[in-house]
A and B are shown apart, each in its own frame.
Chain A
């Protein structure tokens, strides 16, 4: 079983839709959970950072972590064409390297 699983998509939605992106993981020791956004041929850019279980909101973005299910989610409200990118989940335990999912490619049409 791969450490971090993420459906690569692609996912296409109309402008204004609510987007749900998800990852599952197998290592129960993971404590820190991130979402990065990557535009084509660019480096990943940190969007959201959550420690342990719970929710975190930042503008149109909400990150959720359910450690009991080993499942994390990123919700995007009122999606915009500028949100079109690849979204990477990533996670790690204290003192170890960040492990990425494969990324979900999102396209928001106007």
Chain B
């Protein structure tokens, strides 16, 4: 069964460092998303990506964040100058159409020290 894969599963970084989280969406999906979940809190939308550009972003997704689809398979989230409050589980998701039928990866846990 096709699935969304994410790497790394866990990354520990020092405050101020840059982090890149990687995702391989399901191959025939057209819409790609990043969500995050701070421990004990709700799953929060960060950004959606369609047709090689950002289609929507939340208030959380400021200049510290960027996304890229460098080739036909990978979808990356870059976090520059990480802060303690960036510590969270980051989920990549993909879908066929612009509906809420999303397939999520297992997540990348980011710990900022």
Asked if B45 is at the interface (CB within 8 A of a chain A CB), the reply is yes
Q: Given A97-B58, A99-B45, do A34 and B98 touch, yes or no (CB 8 Å)? A: no
Closest to B56 in A: A97
Contact A92 B106 (CB under 8 A): no
Contact of B106 among A42, A46, A91, A96 (CB under 8 A): A42
Asked if A77 is at the interface (CB within 8 A of a chain B CB), the reply is no
Closest to B103 in A: A46
Q: Which residues of A contact B (CB under 8 A)?
A: 32-34, 41-46, 49, 88, 90-92, 94-103
Contact of A100 among B43, B105, B107 (CB under 8 A): B43
Q: Which residues of B contact A (CB under 8 A)?
A: 4, 33, 35, 41-45, 48, 56, 58, 89, 91, 93, 98-107, 109
3 A-B pairs closest in CB distance: A43-B104, A97-B45, A100-B43
Contact A95 B100 (CB under 8 A): no
7 A-B pairs besides A34-B100, A43-B104, A92-B100 with CB distance below 8 A are: A44-B102, A46-B102, A90-B43, A94-B98, A97-B45, A100-B43, A103-B42
B100 to chain A, nearest CB (A): 4
What is the bound-complex CA distance between A105 and B60, given in angstroms?
A: 26
Contact B33 A97 (CB under 8 A): yes
Q: Which residues of A are found within 8 Å of B102, using beta-carbon distances?
A: 44, 46, 98
What is the bound-complex CA distance between A99 and B42, given in angstroms?
A: 10
Q: Which residues of A are found within 8 Å of B103, using beta-carbon distances?
A: 46
Contact B100 A32 (CB under 8 A): yes
Q: Which residues of B are found within 8 Å of A98, using beta-carbon distances?
A: 33, 45, 100, 102
Q: Which residues of A are found within 8 Å of B42, using beta-carbon distances?
A: 88, 100-103
Contact A44 B91 (CB under 8 A): yes
Closest to A6 in B: B42
Q: Which residues of B are found within 8 Å of A102, using beta-carbon distances?
A: 41-42
What is the bound-complex CA distance between A71 and B20, given in angstroms?
A: 39
What is the bound-complex CA distance between A78 and B104, given in angstroms?
A: 27
Closest to A96 in B: B56
